[in-house]
């Protein structure tokens, strides 16, 4: 529409501001909305377009992002005490790159406390509500990003993924989410959860839109020494013909609740009918990897928040404070061991499990979307729900592998409502382009990603 002159960036931005404000009044999706700065950025984009000097495909497109990204005029919100932000902090690299490409930032979006909860619940900021069913969780911690995309409030949003925080809300809210390879996208200016597990990536309405965002934010950043110098591949068109899809029955498909298996099997059947080969892959010790992952994450987030725990303990909710205190006692030797064996386990996983396939096809969640009541930290089931939401996801944060979450149907949630369901594609390191191409091909055959909640 922009290229054809059917709309201006101001038109799109005004519509996005109005829509996000309305959706947030119903769901608590936005932490703040900056109308003046957004409209000024939109007007600059329109001026560039009139002059024939557009900055790329994202020029003039309104976006909003998870609150943990520092922004020069929007600030930051980590969902808890923000005591680790240095006075010299500059705008996050990923935000700078999007804005340098002409994208319009319109606000900060909801996240869970300390960005450390897979449910989307936040005792300090208020819960983010699921636009498909307000009794059900949104998933977290990138809750607002998923809701904003699912409700067509913005065209895309950035999130972060430490143990599933992009993929869970993407699957629950019916959007597409990409967790890139560890080190593929800069984390500079993003409030950390776990330095060894944090990944930054996009959520959007489709794999094609995720691809457009990913190609702008990916690449080496001198401000983040963990970023890779490896070239970012161009993302083209692809078909499913000849793609070798790996299936892991024992840990993943066999753990699925019965009524969730239908949509997963349907998506596999569709890929097979379109020319993909389905290949069962060897099992792996995912329980061990989950244990190593949990140990590292707990030790690192507890150390990060130790000054706040000492001097501002009441700024945490009781449940979060209790959880962080548990991590303080983890011995350094245990964390060091978990870190040192990562390389060997990654090598073993890629050469053994993925030896004969291009990617894995796995569920995102083994359980139906829980209700807010079930997921509450005060409920007896709360800790079980949190574990079940991440059990199929954290292994790939520990291994640092790229993952793409795609909608694949509707299921009956724990509340009885019909809610979106998703699956994830897991690739070899730095294979984001291949995953996105397959995701685009899959979505050309389905319309699950086109469904919107009635808000």
Question: 363: domain CATH number?
Answer: 3.90.1300.10
What's the pTM value of the predicted model, to 2 decimals? 0.97
Q: Above 80 in pLDDT, residue 85?
A: no
DSSP state of 117: -
Q: How far, CA to CA in Å, does 202 sit from each of 94, 208, 324, 435? A: 10, 11, 28, 14
What is the average pLDDT value for the chain, to the nearest integer?
Answer: 95
Claim to verify: residue 41 and residue 125 sit in the same structural domain: yes
In the block, residue with structure tokens 């099992």: 283
Claim to verify: residue 211 and residue 248 sit in the same structural domain: no
pLDDT value, residue 340? 98
Q: What is the largest CA-CA distance in the chain?
A: 61
Claim to verify: residue 303 and residue 400 sit in the same structural domain: yes
Residue 89's pLDDT band, with cuts at 50, 70 and 90, is confident
Instruction: List pLDDT tens digits, range 363-397.
Output: 999 999 999 999 999 999 999 999 999 999 999 99
226 in a domain, yes or no?
Answer: no
Claim to verify: residue 212 and residue 328 sit in the same structural domain: no
Claim to verify: residue 204 and residue 249 sit in the same structural domain: no
Q: Above 90 in pLDDT, residue 238?
A: no
Instruction: List pLDDT tens digits, range 334-371.
Output: 999 999 999 999 999 999 999 999 999 999 999 999 99
pLDDT value, residue 86? 59
Claim to verify: residue 152 and residue 266 sit in the same structural domain: no
What secondary structure, in 3-state letters, does 195-229 show?
CCCCEEEEEECCHHHHHHHHHHHECCCCCCCCCCC
171 in a domain, yes or no?
Answer: yes
Q: Where are the alpha helices (DSSP H) in 256-393?
A: 261-273, 286-304, 306-311, 318-328, 332-340, 342-348, 372-375, 382-390
Share of the chain above pLDDT 70, in %: 98
Looking at 9, 24, 105, 141, which residue is catalytic?
A: 141
- Structure-derived torsion over alpha carbons of residues 323, 327, 328, 329, reported in degrees to the nearest 10: 120
Backbone angles phi and psi of 262, in degrees to 5: -60, -50
Closest CA to 367 of 318, 412, 307: 412
Q: Where are the alpha helices (DSSP H) in 28-175?
A: 35-51, 93-100, 143-150, 167-173
Q: Above 60 in pLDDT, residue 48?
A: yes
Looking at 66, 293, 317, 405, which residue is catalytic?
A: 66
Distance CA 49, CA 428 (A): 39
Q: Above 80 in pLDDT, residue 74?
A: no
The answer to whether residues 131 and 151 touch, using CB atoms and an 8 Å cutoff, is yes
Look at the chain and report how many structural domains it folds into: 2
Residue 444 appears among annotated catalytic residues: no
CA 266 to chain CA centroid, nearest Å: 24
Distance CA 135, CA 204 (A): 23
Residue 415 appears among annotated catalytic residues: no
Claim to verify: residue 99 and residue 188 sit in the same structural domain: yes
297 in a domain, yes or no?
Answer: yes
Claim to verify: residue 190 and residue 96 sit in the same structural domain: yes
Residue 66 appears among annotated catalytic residues: yes
Residue 36's pLDDT band, with cuts at 50, 70 and 90, is very high
The answer to whether residues 78 and 96 touch, using CB atoms and an 8 Å cutoff, is no
Domain-ending residue, one of 166, 182, 217:
217
Q: Which residues of 222-244 are buried (b: 16+ CB within 10 A; e: fewer)?
A: eebeebbeeebeebeebebeebe
231 in a domain, yes or no?
Answer: no
What lies within 8 Å, CB to CB, of 133 at 6+ separation is 413, 415, 417, 419
Q: How far, CA to CA in Å, does 401 sit from each of 46, 51, 79, 197? A: 39, 42, 27, 11
Claim to verify: residue 285 and residue 421 sit in the same structural domain: yes
Exposed / middle / buried, residue 380 (Cβ in 10 Å: 0-12, 13-18, 19+)? exposed
- Domain of residue 176, residue span: 9-217
Claim to verify: residue 142 and residue 283 sit in the same structural domain: no
Claim to verify: residue 55 and residue 172 sit in the same structural domain: yes
Whether residue 56 has a cis bond before it, omega within 30° of 0: no
Quick one: tokens of 224? 């983040």
Report the 10 Å Cβ neighbour count for 291: 14
227 in a domain, yes or no?
Answer: no
The answer to whether residues 106 and 38 touch, using CB atoms and an 8 Å cutoff, is yes
Q: Above 70 in pLDDT, residue 258?
A: yes
The answer to whether residues 180 and 402 touch, using CB atoms and an 8 Å cutoff, is yes
pLDDT value, residue 90? 86
pLDDT value, residue 15? 98
Quick one: tokens of 309? 């725990």
pLDDT value, residue 130? 98
Helix (H, G, I), strand (E, B) or coil at 440: helix
Whether residue 141 has a cis bond before it, omega within 30° of 0: yes
Q: Above 60 in pLDDT, residue 83?
A: no
DSSP state of 310: H
Claim to verify: residue 270 and residue 133 sit in the same structural domain: no
What lies within 8 Å, CB to CB, of 208 at 6+ separation is 436, 440, 443
In the block, residue with structure tokens 């083209």: 236
Kindly write down the DSSP assignment for every residue of 311-348, as one continuous string: H-GGGS-HHHHHHHHHHHT--HHHHHHHHHTHHHHHHH
236 in a domain, yes or no?
Answer: no
Domain-ending residue, one of 217, 252, 277:
217
Looking at 24, 165, 186, 317, which residue is catalytic?
A: 165
């Amino acid at each position: 529409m922009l290229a054809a002159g059917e709309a201006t960036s101001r038109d799109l931005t005004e519509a996005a501001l109005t829509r996000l404000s309305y959706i947030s009044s119903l769901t608590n999706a936005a932490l703040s909305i900056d109308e003046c700065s957004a409209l000024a950025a939109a007007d600059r984009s329109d001026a560039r377009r009139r002059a024939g000097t557009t900055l790329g495909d994202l020029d003039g497109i309104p976006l909003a992002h998870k609150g943990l990204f520092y922004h020069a005029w929007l600030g930051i919100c980590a969902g808890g005490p923000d005591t680790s932000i240095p006075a010299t902090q500059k705008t996050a690299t990923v935000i700078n790159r999007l804005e340098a490409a002409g994208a319009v930032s319109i606000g900060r979006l909801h996240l869970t406390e300390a960005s450390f909860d897979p449910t989307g619940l936040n005792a300090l900021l208020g819960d983010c509500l699921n636009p498909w069913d307000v009794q059900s969780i949104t998933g977290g911690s990138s809750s607002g990003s998923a809701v904003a995309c699912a409700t067509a409030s913005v065209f895309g949003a950035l999130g972060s993924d430490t143990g599933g925080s992009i993929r869970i809300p993407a699957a629950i809210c019916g959007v597409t989410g990409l967790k890139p390879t560890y080190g593929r996208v800069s984390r500079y200016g993003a409030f950390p959860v776990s330095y060894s597990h944090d990944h930054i990536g996009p959520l959007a309405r489709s794999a094609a839109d995720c691809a457009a965002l990913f190609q702008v934010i990916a690449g080496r950043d001198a401000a983040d020494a963990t970023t890779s110098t490896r070239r970012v591949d161009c993302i083209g068109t692809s078909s499913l013909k000849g793609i070798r899809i790996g299936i892991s029955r024992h840990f993943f498909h066999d753990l699925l609740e019965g009524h969730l298996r239908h949509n997963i099997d349907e998506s596999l059947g569709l890929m097979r009918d379109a020319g993909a080969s389905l290949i069962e892959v060897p099992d792996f010790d995912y329980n061990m990897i989950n244990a190593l992952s949990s140990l590292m994450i707990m030790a690192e987030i507890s150390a990060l928040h130790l000054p706040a725990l000492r001097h501002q303990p009441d700024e945490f909710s009781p449940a979060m404070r209790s959880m962080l205190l548990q991590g303080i006692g983890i011995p350094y030797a245990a964390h060091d061991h978990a870190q040192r064996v990562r390389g060997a386990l990654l090598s073993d996983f890629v050469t053994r499990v993925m030896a004969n396939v291009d990617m894995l096809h796995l569920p995102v969640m083994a359980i139906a979307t829980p209700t807010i009541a079930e997921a509450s930290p005060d409920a007896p089931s709360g800790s079980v729900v949190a574990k079940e939401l991440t059990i199929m996801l954290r292994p790939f944060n520990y291994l640092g592998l790229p993952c793409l979450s795609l909608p694949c149907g509707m299921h009956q949630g724990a509340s009885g409502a019909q809610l979106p369901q998703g699956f994830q594609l897991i690739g070899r390191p730095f294979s984001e382009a291949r995953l996105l191409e397959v995701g685009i091909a899959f979505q050309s055959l389905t319309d699950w990603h086109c469904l919107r909640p009635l808000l």
